[in-house]
Structure 1
Amino acid sequence: MSNPSPSASPPLPRPLSVAKSDIERVFGVSAAGGTAVNSGFAGVIALILTTLFFVIVHFLPPGYFRAMLLDRGPTQYATVFLGFWSIVILIIKQNKLSVQRKALRHAVIPENHEFVLTSQTADQVIRNIHALADDPTRYLVYNRILISLSNLKNLGRVSDVDDILRASAERDESAHQTSFATVGGFLWAIPVLGFIGTVLGLAGAIGNFSSLLDKQSDVSAIVGSLKEVTGGLSTAFETTLLSLVVALVIQLWMTSQRKAEEVFLDDCQEYCLKQIVSRIKILPFEPGREV
């Protein structure tokens, strides 16, 4: 019995797979590029977590924590929901960043130090990239390289590769800033919800106090009825407390995540410099080059 031909052997598994490591792709959701997050998908998860959270709180024994969340008006529910939504976005961004960083561990240029990147050898690098990842365009650093090498292969101008890499880096930097827009909006909305709760609580407390003064003439009766007033004051202060704590946690987390992504973008530029730009050789007969 003859052995199967090498061409019939199954292809080797690629070491990098977005479909198997990106949370959004794993759940079959349309995944955003780079470290951007599908906000709708994150919102659905946040809604589920918020519901479970308040169900658990509902079954807690009576106490300060339970009263602060369940008895202080609707703004508490909205604050917790936006807080969970922001946290889910940041968690997914962390996952996407770890997926993107894996691409930096693999070299796309042959280890041979004599290898020179020209319009004739660009195809070899492109094949190496496609052998590493199932969808290399989903990796920021590989997408930059593929765009620049496609220009090199089609036009034969290696002098433009560095400019294209720089333009791609600027585009990725802009996308990085935009990817935090949703969380930034929530960071603005959460303290505003706290202030709304404060206004509602103070308005209720003042209204109850005025009503007591109108209905009661005995000082002792007024003092005994002040519990209705203090309930409004509790709403006023505790809604602000919750919103400020949630906003503080999200702000610190977002700052850390933003810094990690900026470091990653710097590492991408260094990767392209070492792997591509430093291996380019401009030939004297290159089309469009002045000699």
Structure 2
Amino acid sequence: MTFKCPTCDMQLKAEPEMAGKIVRCPGCNTKLSIPASIGAGSLPPPSSMPPPSGVSSPPPAGDAFGTEYEHGASAPEQAPAPSSYQPKERGGWEETDPANPNPWLALAIGAVASLAWFGIMFPFGKGAPGTPPQNTMDYLHDLFLERTWVNYMETFFFFWAIGLIYLKIQKLRHQKDAMFLDVVPVEIGQEINRENVGLFIDHLYGLPARLRDSMMVNRIRKGLELFEIRQNNGEVTNMMSAQSDIDGSRIGGSFSLIKVFLWAIPILGFIGTVLGLSQAIGSIDLQVSDISKVMGSLGKVTSGLGTAFDTTLLGLVLAMFLNFPMNAVSKAEDDNLNNIDAFCNEVLMPRLNDGGGVAGGDTNGIMDTLVKAVASSQKEFLIDLNTLSKQVREQADNLDKRAAAHQERVDAEFAIALNRMREDLTNSVKDSVKTTTEYTRAMASGIQSLNTLLSELGGKQILIHQVKKKGWFSRE
């Protein structure tokens, strides 16, 4: 529900179950009582400011968004924002660390607190230094002021850590105050769409600089600015989830220095124990015969043991007292972060309308969403097609290169075979010519010999007598 501060007239919001509680206004820091249940849409516009033009008054209060209607009745259509609206130039704002305090300021606080504590303990001292304490306050005086330097360091580290916790509480209070801000007022619109998202962002920029620099306002501003550009609920959800993880990491890391002090204080106590035991052992002198000197030596031993045990006791007690507020602040910061996540998931995100749903969505938004989806799909298709074409081109180039290499190899092998064949044919022709030449020479020699023989025979008659052979069928 929403209500206004009676002092500064700032519009605030709170859960219905907080009605009647006393809180501080984040704007003027005055105490006020949260009124009884008030309808989300029954508030008049802020003083001296007319309601936004073109925006109809919200329906009577019902659920968290004021959208309760009779059974069977449909919700009235959301009036669009004026078409003459021009977005303002926005550059965000400088964000301070929401969880990490200034360690040097905490150091100054710790130093002042330590001096104040020692000043408080000083008047309670009784008797001379080293004498047994007479009462509890005298014992505390001796514990903090009459021991070794370790006790002073333990006390200083304790108050330094307390200073860090105090500054973290102040930051946490600032974050809780921002939870009362009405960051998405229903006077601008029951839903947040592409037409009126700029008005919601301008409303966030109109908040006081001290209040808008908070985890909740920063996260909602970033989500609405992303929605103004993308009009996609899924992307806004992912962005806010990532921002929640970042805020959680910041909160967890802000306790690092305090955990160092929580570790160092008991360690200093153990160092003091070692120093006290060394002093006690070094003061033992059993070589004297005088019993009074022996008793004095034992007194120094007990004094050293007391110092040893007191430093450890002080370190453990201070670490225990430091652990409680640290865990309490850690739980409070985690709860506040969970409340911011719940507000974003249960209040902001259901009011975002990116045109993806027909019910309650405007036609122009749906068409724009469809056009963007088709354009995105076409772009992806063209990218895939270009990639495929590039791969086909690369394969074709590879095939051309392989074909050229294969052709070069075939040509080389063919040239080698042709040269081998030419050499073989040349050798064969040479062998044939040589053989023919030798045969011709032999034939010419034979003809010459025949001519010589014929010359010798001259005109002599040569009788050739044929001898008849006897056979089975011969007459003789």
Selected match of 1:57 from 100, 112, 121: 121
TM-score by length of 2: 0.52
Q: What is the distance in 1 between the residues matched to 2:219 and 2:316?
A: 40
8 A Cα contact 1:152 1:161, kept in partner? yes
Q: What is the distance in 1 between the residues matched to 2:9 and 2:177?
A: 18
Comparing 223-232 with 200-209, which one deviates more in the overlay? 223-232
Q: What is the distance in 2 between the residues matched to 1:108 and 1:13?
A: 12
Identity of aligned residues (%): 29
C-alpha distance 289-237 of structure 1, shift in aligned 2 (>3 A): farther
The answer for the alignment partner of 2:81 in structure 1 is none
The answer for the alignment partner of 1:134 in structure 2 is 209
8 A Cα contact 2:178 2:212, kept in partner? no
8 A Cα contact 1:107 1:275, kept in partner? no
Selected match of 1:213 from 278, 286, 291: 286
Q: What is the distance in 2 between the residues matched to 1:147 and 1:61?
A: 59
Q: CA deviation at 1:41?
A: 0.5
Larger radius of gyration: 2
| Number of residue equivalences | 268
1:36 paired to 2:36: no
Comparing 243-252 with 100-109, which one deviates more in the overlay? 100-109
Deviations 1:36-89 (A, max 9, x none): 211110111111111122133223232211111112100111110111111111
Selected match of 2:342 from 255, 259, 270: 270
The answer for the alignment partner of 2:200 in structure 1 is 125
Comparing 186-195 with 32-41, which one deviates more in the overlay? 32-41
Match of 1:267, SS? helix
Match of 1:33, SS? coil
8 A Cα contact 1:119 1:156, kept in partner? yes
Selected match of 1:161 from 226, 232, 236: 236
The answer for the alignment partner of 2:420 in structure 1 is none
Q: What is the distance in 1 between the residues matched to 2:243 and 2:339?
A: 14
Deviations 1:145-185 (A, max 9, x none): 11111122233434311111111100000000011111111
C-alpha distance 78-190 of structure 1, shift in aligned 2 (>3 A): same
8 A Cα contact 2:192 2:352, kept in partner? yes
Comparing 232-241 with 102-111, which one deviates more in the overlay? 102-111
Q: What is the distance in 2 between the residues matched to 1:38 and 1:158?
A: 37
Task: Name the aligned partner's letter for residue 343 of structure 2.
Answer: Y
1:66 paired to 2:141: yes
Q: What is the distance in 1 between the residues matched to 2:275 and 2:118?
A: 22
Comparing 196-205 with 100-109, which one deviates more in the overlay? 100-109
Comparing 149-158 with 166-175, which one deviates more in the overlay? 149-158
Q: What is the distance in 1 between the residues matched to 2:280 and 2:184?
A: 70
* Structure 1 segment 216-231 matched on structure 2, within 5 A: 216-231=288-303
Deviations 1:181-210 (A, max 9, x none): 11111001000010000000001101111x
Task: Name the aligned partner's letter for residue 95 of structure 1.
Answer: Q
1:246 paired to 2:321: no
Deviations 1:87-139 (A, max 9, x none): 11112212221211112122222325962212332212112223333245521
The answer for the alignment partner of 1:179 in structure 2 is 254
1:144 paired to 2:219: yes
Q: What is the distance in 1 between the residues matched to 2:119 and 2:246?
A: 44
Q: What is the distance in 2 between the residues matched to 1:68 and 1:16?
A: 44
1:237 paired to 2:329: no
Q: CA deviation at 1:12?
A: 8.0
C-alpha distance 60-173 of structure 1, shift in aligned 2 (>3 A): same
8 A Cα contact 2:148 2:272, kept in partner? yes
Task: Name the aligned partner's letter for residue 270 of structure 1.
Answer: A
8 A Cα contact 1:208 1:228, kept in partner? yes
8 A Cα contact 2:276 2:306, kept in partner? yes
Q: Report which structure shows greater RCO (CA 8 Å, sep ≥6).
A: 1
Q: Which has the higher helix share?
A: 1
Match of 1:281, SS? coil
1:82 paired to 2:157: yes
Task: Name the aligned partner's letter for residue 75 of structure 1.
Answer: V
Q: What is the distance in 1 between the residues matched to 2:185 and 2:10?
A: 19
Unaligned runs of 5+ in 1: 1-10, 22-30
C-alpha distance 17-96 of structure 1, shift in aligned 2 (>3 A): farther
8 A Cα contact 1:46 1:84, kept in partner? yes
Q: What is the distance in 1 between the residues matched to 2:237 and 2:317?
A: 46
CA RMSD of aligned residues (A): 2.6
Selected match of 1:188 from 263, 267, 271: 263
Q: What is the distance in 2 between the residues matched to 1:38 and 1:184?
A: 16
C-alpha distance 34-229 of structure 1, shift in aligned 2 (>3 A): same
